[in-house]
Chain A
């Protein structure tokens, strides 16, 4: 199946700094990528939908200035957590949909962010 890679797999940062997480589709073009956040023992919550070449669509309650999403190419979307705080510590997972495909999302391995 198609491969989605996230980098970094885990990151520790100091409060107030910004962190960028990359999501790449390695062997296919993804016109749409999704960013999810997973809290411990909870489900994945969709944060935003990222479309190549246009602004991301954020879910209600997600601060767009806090979580900057850029989808500059058909194989790369980035999530930048700006001025990170401890409450931003979480597991962030991206997924990508194959252009023209009917239904399967391919998920990255996730990035664990810890803000001290």
Chain B
């Protein structure tokens, strides 16, 4: 069965600290992996995506993610969190034609001053 698991519902980090949001997936075909961010009352914005090639992908706003096939993981990282990063983050997996995305349940990030 296709699924995406984000084990952390809430995470709180101090501003300037590093961040890692976990994402594990189960997918029967070659996965195309995505991280989206959702601010309150807003739609989802794409942070980064992985299709193939280098397993470490860079995204916007200083985020990066590493695809580890052996662990079926696609964790999101940021070396130094800013207060404006407080939002909800969703990991997603989809097929090559992007017709059906499976989303994780999201991780809500709080940033302490």
Interface residues of A (CB under 8 A from B): 1, 4, 6, 9, 32, 34, 36, 41-46, 49, 93, 95, 97, 102-110
Question: Chain A residues near B32 (CB, 8 Å)?
Answer: 103
B113 at the interface (CB under 8 A from A): no
Interface residues of B (CB under 8 A from A): 4, 9, 32, 36, 41-46, 49, 51, 90, 98-101, 103-106
CA distance A9 to B41 in the complex (A): 8
CA distance A108 to B43 in the complex (A): 5
Question: Chain B residues near A109 (CB, 8 Å)?
Answer: 41-43
CA distance A102 to B97 in the complex (A): 8
Question: Chain B residues near A97 (CB, 8 Å)?
Answer: 98
Question: Chain B residues near A42 (CB, 8 Å)?
Answer: 105-106
B36 touches A107 (CB 8 A): yes
B105 touches A41 (CB 8 A): yes
CA distance A49 to B98 in the complex (A): 11
B42 touches A110 (CB 8 A): yes
Assuming the contacts A97-B98, A107-B36, asked whether A43 and B90 have C-beta atoms less than 8 A apart, the reply is yes
